Amino acid sequence: MTAPASGRAVVVGAALAGLRGAEALRRAGFSGPLTIVGAEPHPPYDRPPLSKHVLTGEVPADATRLPNLVGLDAAWRLGAAATRLDRSGRTIHLADGTALPYDRLLVATGTRARPWPNPHEGRLGGVHTIRDRDDAAALRAALRGRPKRVLIVGGGFIGCEVASACRSLDIPVTLVEPSPTPLARVLGTHLGAVVGALHESRGVDLRSGAEVEWLEDDGAGHVARAHLAGGGSVEADVVVVALGAVRNTDWLAGSGLSADPGGLDCDARGHALDAAGEPDTAIAAAGDVARFPHPLYDGRRVALEHWGHAVAQAEHAGRLLAGRPAEAPYGALPTFWSTQGGLNIKSVGLTEGADGIVIAQGSPREGRFLALYGREGRCIAAVSIDCARWLPAYAAMIEARAPFPPIRRGTDQPGGLEILPPGWPERARR
C-alpha cells in the first residue's frame, strides 16, 4: 500500500487511541477526508484521572480533555455510536441512522465497564460503575454527599484506586474481592498481600475471599446493603461495581471479522483479521480493543488496557493505514502505573503465566521494592512499588529475554533472591 493522496478514512472510537491514531494518519501524509466517530458526546479526554483525582475533587471531570497534537482537519461525529460494519460495501452504520463510507478504517472502540450481573440491582440508586467521564462525575457527586459507607465490589486496580480515593476523603469503605488478596489476578498473592496491607492500614475494611451475592433495595429504589455468599451483609448507601471491562466489539457482529468480547483479532502488522484468519488491509485496530500477537511473548495474542500502549499502537496503526507501515511488527513493552494510598505502583511486561517471582530490589517490609517475574527461565515482567528508578534496567532485561533469576549481588538487592511462586489464585490459572 502506498501513501494515499485521497480516499476516505474513518476512525471509530474518540478516546486516546482514536485521537492519536488520527494524528498519526495525518503525520504520515494522509490528506483525504477524515471522520472521527465517538459514542460519547465529549471530545477525547484522559481516563486515568477519573478513578483518582476526579473522585477526590482535585480535578473536575470536564477538565480532563486531551490536547490535539496535530491539526486534524477532521469531521467529528460525537454521541453517535457505530452499530454495524458492512465490509462488502465499506460502510459504517451509526446509531443515529446515518452511514459513513470508508476506504481506510481504524477500530479504536476501547472498552466499557462490566455491569452488575443483575440488571435490576444494577439500576438501583447509589450503584455506580466507573469507566467514562460521566461515570466519574456521578460518583464524585455521590462522594460529595458524604455517604455513610461505600462498598466496592472488585479488588482490581480500579477498585483499589477508588478505595484509596474514599479514604483520602475520610469516607468509610469496604472492599470485597473473591481472591485471597486484592490485585491477585495481576500481581499474584505475594504482592497482592502487600497492597492489601496498605489499604487496611489506611482504614479500608478489606474482605478478601468473599463475594457479593445480591444487592438489597431499600424499598425506594436505592441500594441499602449487599448480601455476601455464605451469609453476612454490608450496609452501604453507595456501591461501586469494579468487575473489569468488556471490549466494545458488539458492532462488529456479522461483519466477518474475527471479534468477540475479548477483542478484535489482528495480524502482526496490525490489520484486522477475518474469520478465516486473513487480514483486511483496509482495517487496522489500536488500543484496548485490539488483540494481537506480541513478539516478546512468543506471539501469544493479548489485548492490553494500558495508556502508553494505546498511544504507541495507535501511532503504529495510523502509519499502517496511511501506507507507511513500521519495518517491524508492533511489540512495544507493556507498561502500567497506579497510585494508591500514596504508593506509586509501576509495571513493565506481562505477569500472566509467570512461574516464579523474586524481590530483586529493596524490601516489602520497608514498603519500597521491585519484584521480577520469570517464566521458563526468562524474565517476563517487573513491578515496582515506590522503587521506579530501577524499572528501566529491568525493562531492558525483559526486552532482551534475559535469564531468570537475575544477576545477584547488585546494588540495593536483598541477599538471597529467593525464587517464590507468584501465588496466582485458582480463577487466574483457569
Q: What is the pLDDT of residue 367?
A: 84
Backbone angles phi, psi at 191, to 5 degrees: -75, -30
316 burial (CB, 10 Å; 0-12 / 13-18 / 19+) is buried
Look up cell 467521564; give the residue.
133
Q: What is the pLDDT of residue 426?
A: 65
Q: What is the pLDDT of residue 138?
A: 98
Beta bridge partners, 84, equal 93
More confident residue, 428 or 395: 395
Contact predicate 159/177, CB 8 Å:
yes
pLDDT grade for 410, boundaries at 50, 70 and 90: low
Residue 146: CB atoms within 10 Å: 10
CA-to-CA dists, residue 38 to 7, 76, 84, angstroms: 21, 8, 14
Please report the sign of the dihedral spanned by the C-alpha atoms of residue 349, residue 352, residue 356, residue 358: positive
Pairing of strands 150-153, 238-241: parallel
Q: What is the pLDDT of residues 349-399, one digit of tens each?
A: 999 999 999 999 999 888 899 999 999 999 999 999 999 999 999 999 999
The residue-averaged pLDDT of 294-299 equals 92
Q: pTM of the entire structure?
A: 0.94
The residues, any chain, with a CB within 8 Å of residue 119's CB and separated by 6 or more, are none
Q: What is the pLDDT of residue 414?
A: 58
Contact predicate 168/160, CB 8 Å:
no
Q: What is the pLDDT of residues 23-50, one digit of tens each?
A: 999 999 999 999 999 999 999 999 999 9
DSSP string, 414-427: -SS---B-----HH
How many angstroms from the chain centroid is the CA of residue 156? 11
Contact predicate 288/111, CB 8 Å:
yes
The helix (run of H) or strand (run of E) holding residue 227 is strand 223-228
3-class DSSP assignment, residue 43: coil
Q: What is the pLDDT of residues 72-126, one digit of tens each?
A: 999 999 999 999 999 999 999 999 999 999 999 999 999 999 999 999 999 999 9
pLDDT grade for 429, boundaries at 50, 70 and 90: very low
CA-to-CA dists, residue 405 to 6, 359, 379, 417, angstroms: 53, 10, 7, 8
Beta bridge partners, 294, equal 300
CA-to-CA dists, residue 77 to 13, 38, 163, 238, angstroms: 10, 6, 35, 34
The residue among 412, 370, 418, 410 whose CA lies nearest residue 391 is 370
pLDDT grade for 424, boundaries at 50, 70 and 90: confident
Q: What is the pLDDT of residues 247-271, one digit of tens each?
A: 999 999 999 999 999 999 999 999 9
| Residue 425: pLDDT over 90 | no
* Rounded distance between C-alpha atoms, residue 351 and residue 304, angstroms: 12
* Rounded distance between C-alpha atoms, residue 223 and residue 271, angstroms: 45
Give exposure, 372-410, as e/b (b: 16+ Cβ within 10 Å): bbbbeebbbbbbbbbbeebbeebbebbeeebebbbeeee
The residues, any chain, with a CB within 8 Å of residue 415's CB and separated by 6 or more, are none
* Rounded distance between C-alpha atoms, residue 154 and residue 158, angstroms: 8
The residue-averaged pLDDT of 180-208 equals 95
